[in-house]
Structure 1
């Protein structure tokens, strides 16, 4: 049977065998946890605590300052050590709440008695309010506040709820393991969304390099009339929102439009589980599954960790070989960000920590563009990356926009295939930021 896909794209080496067969391991934090007040797209949060305050598990410690935002909650109990600016994994100075863990993990009362017994008695607005208060964001890396995604305009009828189980980034396997180990929670979370959007049907899109996940989720969907599994071709960037919609429904999201404009909502696997936890258990986002992998660690693993832990602590638990590692990336190799320091905190958008050795890093020097057109052949958005690159380097922003540069999803396919090793996606990203600032 032909598996579903989209036009163009690439087939990088995936290296998922390092962790795809390893069950998720619980990793408890050490003494100090750091909570950046910006772990989402939108306005930063303002700290609600000060030095010396005692905090409990699940306590809100950061309140959004604008509509587009998500509150921050403590994942441990302890004492606020300091509230100050610190560097996050992107290298930006961000206001942070630093908590000294007392290792009792005492929870706020709302967590002990939290959740609703019957969500079918709630209105959409009440469910959205719960999700908003729980601080849910896209767990696939974009970190867009989930409550906004679940509040489409009144004139948009949602007919497709699509679960992104593609996990197309090389090395990453956390979503794969969630589909194997927490599949029942994915189905339960989808039922909440189907209650909200009664005209919709749900699809779980899974690439065909995860057939054990396909089989498990298909088994769980056997008695569900409105939930089905869609098997996708293994191709990058299959997990991109617009490409996943096209692969599973055949619908194309026009330039400048959103998934809701074609009646679709796309959510990551772990985001669906987080919705279930927030609504039925009353638990905010305090943990996530992180793939720690690459040849720079001796024990590549998927860890279940509490937010606020440092990258260093997580790496050491996986047997990090610091001397052999030449690059550490937060996320996958295609869209992740290289770290200048591992003494930074894990946030809501941290899907993986990738440690690459010298053999895994391409250090070929950049040369002149040879006009081969490979970047054009690869671009899943059907753009002309070499022209965008030229416009970006020369600050020709009007021309950049005329070439639909703002439609670039920054997947990195162009840079991956470029024989001249041009920094295509990096220059395009810079130009997009410049245009937005203008």
Structure 2
């Protein structure tokens, strides 16, 4: 895979005007990624993205395991949902939604006796799979964008007929003040980021992959360059 990463220089091209607030990255850029502690109750809305809501695969009283698929896609612009915890389905009803109003959701009570360990699935032989199969895997993995619409990833990666994607650009700039999640991801898991780039490159048929990283993340740039060799 051809991956192009920026080389640090003492001068950078920029543009006039615009807003350049202090980034405040120093508060968290050095802190490792941590897993949150498990709560007692989990509400999983069946509408977590733009498009059709997912369809529940469980019913009240069912025992579910962390990572288990509990809802299937409700259409092409829809993805599967998985249980974030091992526990019991105590209700399926309409609950308040961050986007406003109420949506059908699955309420799961965590099992206090479970160690909440997640059993990883075996690696997919993605290099031998067809694009159609990879897109289906992405849809059923529940992957969506992290923007406001949470647009399903498999839809984003579906190149329209007659169109060509020559370049794949990974945006690791993370220019927003305070945010350092992309920084930590590239610093701690560069090989996983690049593996994802390889899979996407195959899906969209890109010739080259470019990774954009802002100059205030020199350690992430070094880690990504090392793994891209």
TM-score range for the pair, normalised by the shorter chain length? 0.7 to 0.9
CA positional deviation for 1:112:
5.3
Change in Cα spacing, 1:77 to 1:5, as seen in structure 2 (3 Å) is: farther
CA positional deviation for 1:5:
5.7
State how far apart, in whole Å, the 2-side matches of 1:129 and 1:4 are: 41
**1:106-185 paired onto structure 2 within 5 Å:** 113-116=121-124, 118-185=125-192
Tell me the residue number matched to 1:219.
Answer: 226
Structure 1's unaligned 5+ residue stretches are 224-438
State how far apart, in whole Å, the 1-side matches of 2:16 and 2:142 are: 35
Match of 2:70 among 61, 67, 74: 61
Counting matched residue pairs gives 218
**1:238-277 paired onto structure 2 within 5 Å:** none
State how far apart, in whole Å, the 2-side matches of 1:4 and 1:92 are: 46
Change in Cα spacing, 1:141 to 1:203, as seen in structure 2 (3 Å) is: farther
Return the index of the structure with the highest Cα Rg.
Answer: 1
1:136–1:145 contact (8 Å) kept in structure 2: yes
State how far apart, in whole Å, the 2-side matches of 1:5 and 1:48 are: 51
Change in Cα spacing, 1:113 to 1:69, as seen in structure 2 (3 Å) is: closer
Match of 1:196 among 195, 203, 215: 203
Query: CA deviation digits over 1:76-108, x for unaligned, max 9?
Result: 11100111222223333222111011134376x
1:158–1:199 contact (8 Å) kept in structure 2: yes
Change in Cα spacing, 1:165 to 1:5, as seen in structure 2 (3 Å) is: farther
1:60–1:71 contact (8 Å) kept in structure 2: yes
Change in Cα spacing, 1:14 to 1:5, as seen in structure 2 (3 Å) is: same
CA positional deviation for 1:157:
0.8
Change in Cα spacing, 1:7 to 1:198, as seen in structure 2 (3 Å) is: farther
Match of 1:93 among 87, 94, 102: 102
Change in Cα spacing, 1:63 to 1:113, as seen in structure 2 (3 Å) is: closer
CA positional deviation for 1:154:
2.2
TM value normalised by structure 2: 0.85
Give the helix-richer structure, 1 or 2: 1
Change in Cα spacing, 1:113 to 1:210, as seen in structure 2 (3 Å) is: closer
Greater relative contact order structure (CA < 8 Å, 6+ sep): 2
**1:407-422 paired onto structure 2 within 5 Å:** none
Indicate the RMSD between aligned Cα atoms, in angstroms: 2.2
Change in Cα spacing, 1:79 to 1:124, as seen in structure 2 (3 Å) is: same
Match of 2:93 among 84, 87, 102: 84
Tell me the residue number matched to 1:51.
Answer: 60
Query: CA deviation digits over 1:231-274, x for unaligned, max 9?
Result: xxxxxxxxxxxxxxxxxxxxxxxxxxxxxxxxxxxxxxxxxxxx
State how far apart, in whole Å, the 1-side matches of 2:226 and 2:126 are: 25
2:157–2:204 contact (8 Å) kept in structure 1: no
Change in Cα spacing, 1:217 to 1:51, as seen in structure 2 (3 Å) is: same
1:56–1:106 contact (8 Å) kept in structure 2: no
State how far apart, in whole Å, the 2-side matches of 1:193 and 1:97 are: 31
TM value normalised by structure 1: 0.46
Tell me the residue number matched to 1:254.
Answer: none
Structure 2's unaligned 5+ residue stretches are 1-8
